[in-house]
Structure 1
Amino acid sequence: MVMTTDVHGRELRYFVAVAEELHFTRAAERLYVSQPALSKQIRALEGQLGVKLFRRDSQGVELTAAGDALLPHARRVLQTWEEAAAAVDRARAAEHSTLVVGMSTSLGRGGLLPAIRSRFTAARPEATLRLRQITWDDPTAGLADGDTDVAFVWLPLPDQHRYAWTVVVEEPRLIALPEDHPLAGRAEIDFAELADEPFLALPRSAGPLRDFWLGTDCRGGRPPRIGAEVASAEETYEALVAGLGVVLVARGNLPLISLGGVTARPVTGLTPSRCALAWRREEGGGEGRGEGRRELIRAYAEACRQVTGRS
């Protein structure tokens, strides 16, 4: 019998989140929905498909055979949809005065983004800004593949000769570690004392940025120990409280991971971190997008410089 049913993308996103987390509460937090709402959507999906996708008992959550069979197909459907949505966004941006701004973590830092937006829209009131959140797998926050026009990134960038940038903030790198770590009681830690600690690392695709946040530039050629790889602030926090390692973090990003069970300390012997607004050098805004797009990028970069006071 061929099964026919109308399954929505939201239900597939919810299913994939639970399948990857194997924990309804963590999946709900990842999706920014309530746990009851998530459970309701999963039950609705199971009802439409006529099968149970998860087994829930006192031991936790696990995929059923049907759920395991569905997972790779659900991921492909969501990936295809994201690619289609990105294609539509690019087409819309080409037709309208839209600037796509990428970032991989919330910039925060005293209302910096709203201030830049205010300056930009005052100078270019006809323009539309679109923010796009990019995973940590892409250290260029969408610039490399043309999904974004400008992006807030951490330096150094891979293939950085391709990009121009203006530094937004320069901040010391702190060390975040579990509250019960032997070094947590110290007021300050020398980086040399962390040489044997397992570190949380960005994905390998982050290239030189992975090395920077491992402190490779300050290890004197000694390779770091990798405790786990992390691709989001949520994964970083979970790995910290699980005791999988310690992690370097920019001072302004500390609120993203300094939840219960985690603390941070100043570190000596490290160069500071630099967050920058970057764009592609070749024509300042994406293949085939013309002088109008270049002007938007210049206007946004100028608004950024005015707000930060940097050249």
Structure 2
Amino acid sequence: MSDWTQKLKVQHLRLLICIGEQGNLSQVAGMMNITQPALSKWLAALEDDIGLTLFERHSKGLRPSAGGRLMLEHARRILNDLERSRADIEQFKQGAQGSLLVGCSPVATDCVAQALLPLTADYPTLRLQVVENVMTPLLQSLLSAKLDVVVGRVGGRALELPLNYRVLYTEPVCFVSNREHPLACKKSITWQDLLDYRWIVWPTGTPIRVSIDNALVEHGVMLPENYLESSSMSVTLNMVQASEMVSILSLRLAQRYEEQGQLAILPLPRIEQKGSVGVFWRKNETPSGVLQRFLIHLHTTSAGDESPA
């Protein structure tokens, strides 16, 4: 069997991605300015060379097969790498010392910021971009090479992905409110006290939500019916500060906000359901010098600022 990778060109990768997104050869042919017969012939020849059906034919069009989804994943990563190379070279010509694209979940913003400060001192002309989101889309962007590294909660399906990871720290979660909240003035409160107020919680399936759901089960408490879900730390912070709503945060982040006078940690007995924050990066790739330095700073700042368990 011939080496089909030798025949592939950048335009072919774009064709594959377009077919995967549109699911219709006629539409793709029109969009890419080629004839449908030529497109069909090329796709059939590629599948024959690979020895794999990439798209399954259905009455409503084409759908990627399992092998096709794997091929599309690689195609997207290759194109993203090429675009990254173009941008890096242009930045290098202007004096940049490299680039780093960081994905960060809201729970990890504190440790990421502390690691980036010394990194920017190491590389004063570094091209740096930080994207904040929940873990699922961040990890998908990491797999497709849109990001170099992701820092956030470790758990769930994240550990099943083909990624390297390292746990940075483990900590409990806690309830928070605004500083003038009726519960913030008490020496101790119960779960029943919390049920008198509306909760803002992380979306279902996120690691911190799993932690609080497990804690509720352990204490025989049901999640209030009128709870709100938010994956935005800034939205949650603003809503808690402006109302009598309560929310759940990792202890380290809550302590930071309390020190800054923005929130109060409610005196509920310690929730022993702990969550781990870690860093993820791609396997089978040698990390750049910038990424290696960032990983070192993450480890140093996290180890030096552990919250009590």
TM-score for both structures, normalised by structure 2: 0.52
- Unaligned 5+ runs, structure 2: 1-77, 89-97, 305-309
Q: Give the structure 1 partner of residue 294 of structure 2.
A: 300
Q: Give the structure 1 partner of residue 138 of structure 2.
A: 142
Secondary structure of residue in 2 paired with 1:252: helix
Distance 1:179 1:309 in 2: 29
Change (3 A) 1:88 1:104: farther
Q: Give the structure 2 partner of residue 131 of structure 1.
A: 129
Distance 1:145 1:230 in 2: 21
Q: Give the structure 2 partner of residue 250 of structure 1.
A: 250
Contact 1:200 1:228 in 2 (8 A): yes
Distance 1:295 1:235 in 2: 35
**What is the root-mean-square deviation of aligned Cα atoms in Å?**
4.1
Distance 1:250 1:264 in 2: 11
User: Alpha-carbon deviations, 1:109-155, whole Å to 9, x = none?
Assistant: 69722455169x4xxx69945232223xx325622223322122123
Q: Which structure shows the bigger proportion of residues in helix conformation?
A: 2
Query: How much has 1:307 moved relative to structure 2?
Result: 4.1
Aligned length: 208
Query: How much has 1:184 moved relative to structure 2?
Result: 1.9
Q: Give the structure 2 partner of residue 264 of structure 1.
A: 265
Q: Give the structure 2 partner of residue 160 of structure 1.
A: 159
Q: Give the structure 2 partner of residue 274 of structure 1.
A: 276
Q: Give the structure 1 partner of residue 99 of structure 2.
A: 98
Secondary structure of residue in 1 paired with 2:279: strand
Distance 1:179 1:307 in 2: 28
User: Alpha-carbon deviations, 1:166-191, whole Å to 9, x = none?
Assistant: 23344443311244544222234455
Change (3 A) 1:154 1:170: same
User: Alpha-carbon deviations, 1:43-66, whole Å to 9, x = none?
Assistant: xxxxxxxxxxxxxxxxxxxxxxxx
Contact 1:191 1:267 in 2 (8 A): yes
Query: How much has 1:216 moved relative to structure 2?
Result: 0.9
Change (3 A) 1:203 1:299: same
Q: Give the structure 2 partner of residue 216 of structure 1.
A: 213
Contact 2:154 2:277 in 1 (8 A): yes
Q: Give the structure 1 partner of residue 240 of structure 2.
A: 240
**Percent identical residues:** 14
Q: Give the structure 2 partner of residue 230 of structure 1.
A: 230
Secondary structure of residue in 2 paired with 1:268: coil
Q: Give the structure 2 partner of residue 3 of structure 1.
A: none
Distance 1:165 1:180 in 2: 40
TM-score for both structures, normalised by structure 1: 0.51
Distance 2:154 2:257 in 1: 19
Moved more, 161-170 or 101-110: 101-110
Query: How much has 1:242 moved relative to structure 2?
Result: 5.0
Contact 1:100 1:150 in 2 (8 A): yes
Change (3 A) 1:101 1:194: same
Higher Rg: 2
Change (3 A) 1:159 1:307: closer
Distance 1:253 1:304 in 2: 16
